[in-house]
Amino acid sequence: MNVDEPVIHTHDVLIIGGGLTGLRAALSVFYAGLDGAVLSKVHPLRSHSVAAQGGMNASLANVPGEGSVPDSWEMHAYDTVKGSDYLADQDAVALMCREASATVRELEHMGMVWSRLDSGRIAQRPFGGAGFPRTCYAADRTGHNALHTLYQQVIARQIPVYEEFFATSLIVADGRCTGCTAIEIMTGKMHGFSARATLLATGGFGRVYSRSTNALINTGDGQALAFVAGAPLKDMEFVQFHPTSLFGTNILITEGARGEGGMLLNREGERFMERYAPESLDLAPRDVVARAIETEIAEGRGFEGGYVHLDLRHLGADRIRERLPGIRQIAIDFAGVDPIEEPVPIQPGQHYAMGGIDVGLDGAASLPGLYAAGECACISVHGANRLGGNSLLETVVFGRLVADAIVRDLPQYTVPQGDDAERAVSREDRRIDDILKKRGGEKAFSVKKELKDIMFSRFGIFRNAGDMEAGLTAITRLQDRFRTVSLSNSERGVNQALVRYLELEGMLILAEVVARGALARKESRGSHTRADYPKRDDDRFLAHTIASMSERGIEISFRPVSLGMFSPKERAY
């Protein structure tokens, strides 16, 4: 074979992303007897899912709540819709909550090692915004456990996994998505992947922000790929800030720490959540707790540098060692603090993207042949604020359901023409060559750093029009400066600088989408808090923000939320 000949791989279903969503989807495609393959820019076990700590929600009702009624999927749906500040689509929420218990049991049957009660049943801990102890967990390493479990299943079935392949573009032919191009990071060779249907399962975009709990690889590539290919994005201004990330490094300290009884204290030793959420206290939803901590710090009741304390000492050494071993180790290694003896310094950090690729209940994007699920998608189960423990649930439930929908839809998609993939490969090859030839100008690092700082300071926990306008202008300036960026490494193989460059290109687009959505939404709802519009405005904004790319640039429109069992009311905790 001529080394310059394009390499085209053909599969029925191409799954881009090897986290929980991608791996669960791959199994369903396999069960249907179809040829599916997974493509991932890192080894699947390094996907961010592996870092999930606190747990996965399901109304198993293994631990009684405070009242006499046991937990139910309807109560789970109610908490989720209320937590979302009524922006979640209630049909999607009902579907997820109904499937939750079976999903936890399915993982159990695959070999997942859930933590147990003395009775032998799967243990459940209280989490923020939940009326019952509903979060199933594997100590504080739930994602690690779940991802290894699914990966074993994928390996056992010899499902092909293209590891360390970076998707650079979606192939669109005759208005339909027919796969992607991807650079093999080791060799720098561009490959074509031709598929009847393509599923994006590429995770979140936390790293567009500074102070993020996310893995360095969470750069939102899938959202950018879809957007550039013509698929709109939804609700991108809703960015979750987790109340407790470790001061200094922003490594996550799970909500499970408060679920086990941990308390937040300000510099005066006061349990300040009593003033912000008198009933739920430290276990109010994340948007409420993050705002409370920021307010304490802004009003001078935090510690120097901007943090408060998370106190776990009263839980006792045994419980901390058994239920929160990972958290203890992180606090010792990265803050020099042993939670058995001292409180942990924490501050809010960017954590999760509620918004993503606009898809329907079946995961289908508006571009035929393209589907999305997991954190990169917005099927809208989290609305304006996600409850802890609902994302791991979403990945496995919709990894399965969306793959099932693809299997159902597949007969309508013919096998794509090989030439389209070949043409896309040569186009992408030329583009990479041009990038590697660039000289002089800026370094990608400085553009990226400025972008992250702008996002955190202008589109953070508290927002207002003036700051956001200035932020948007700064983002468009960075987009201009990015055009001059060159790389100091011009090799094709193992060029991590090239991968970071391609990520940054997409991050600059997503930042603008967040900014335009946040400016257009003139209200406060869930994680989107505007000092200039402090109230929720259901008359105008009980609606999803839809961002699309047109010849005039990014355009924003709104689409009504699908309501259902629960009518919007004021949210109090």
Nearer to ligand FAD, 202 or 545 (CB): 202
Nearer to ligand FAD, 206 or 232 (CB): 206
DSSP letter (8 states) at residue 526? T
Contact 522, 533 (CB under 8 A): yes
Residue nearest ligand FAD, Cβ-based: 19
Spell out the residues 6+ positions from residue 468 whose beta carbon is closer than 8 angstroms to its own. Answer: 458, 459, 515, 518, 519
CB of 33 to ligand FAD, least distance (A): 24
Cα–Cα distance, 318 to 260 (Å, whole number):
12
CB of 254 to ligand FAD, least distance (A): 6
CB of 502 to ligand FAD, least distance (A): 8
Cα–Cα distance, 320 to 310 (Å, whole number):
13
Nearer to ligand FAD, 141 or 196 (CB): 141
Q: Please, what sign has the CA dihedral across residues 94, 96, 100, 106?
A: positive
CB of 466 to ligand FAD, least distance (A): 31
Nearer to ligand FAD, 389 or 471 (CB): 389
Nearer to ligand FAD, 377 or 542 (CB): 377
Q: How far is residue 547 from each of residues 231, 331, 453, 475, 518, measured CA to CA in Å?
A: 9, 40, 23, 17, 11
Nearer to ligand FAD, 21 or 524 (CB): 21
DSSP 280-334: TGGGS-HHHHHHHHHHHHHTT-SBTTTBEEEE-GGG-HHHHHHH-HHHHHHHHHH
For helices 418-437 and 496-520, the axis angle rounded to 10 degrees is 100
DSSP 191-249: EEEEEEEEEE-----GGGSSSB-S-TT-S-HHHHHHHHTT--EE-TT-EEEEEEEETTT
CB of 61 to ligand FAD, least distance (A): 19
Cα–Cα distance, 261 to 255 (Å, whole number):
10
Cα–Cα distance, 32 to 406 (Å, whole number):
10
Q: Which residue has the tokens 């649930």?
A: 393
Cα–Cα distance, 175 to 320 (Å, whole number):
55
DSSP letter (8 states) at residue 116? B
Beta strands 356-358 and 233-234 are antiparallel
CB of 27 to ligand FAD, least distance (A): 13
Contact 77, 94 (CB under 8 A): yes
Q: How many CA atoms lie within 13 A of 166 on its CB side?
A: 25
CB of 493 to ligand FAD, least distance (A): 17
Contact 432, 183 (CB under 8 A): yes
Q: From the candidates 134, 141, 207, 286, which is the catalytic residue? A: 286
Nearer to ligand FAD, 182 or 474 (CB): 182
Helix (H) or strand (E) holding 22: helix 20-31
Nearer to ligand FAD, 213 or 524 (CB): 213
CB of 483 to ligand FAD, least distance (A): 21
Active site residue 176: no
Catalog residues that contact ligand FAD under the rule CB under 6 A.
16-22, 39-42, 44, 47-49, 51-56, 142-143, 166-167, 201-204, 213-214, 217-218, 221-222, 252, 254, 352, 374-376, 388-392, 395
CB of 304 to ligand FAD, least distance (A): 26
Nearer to ligand FAD, 9 or 530 (CB): 9
Catalytic residue positions? 286
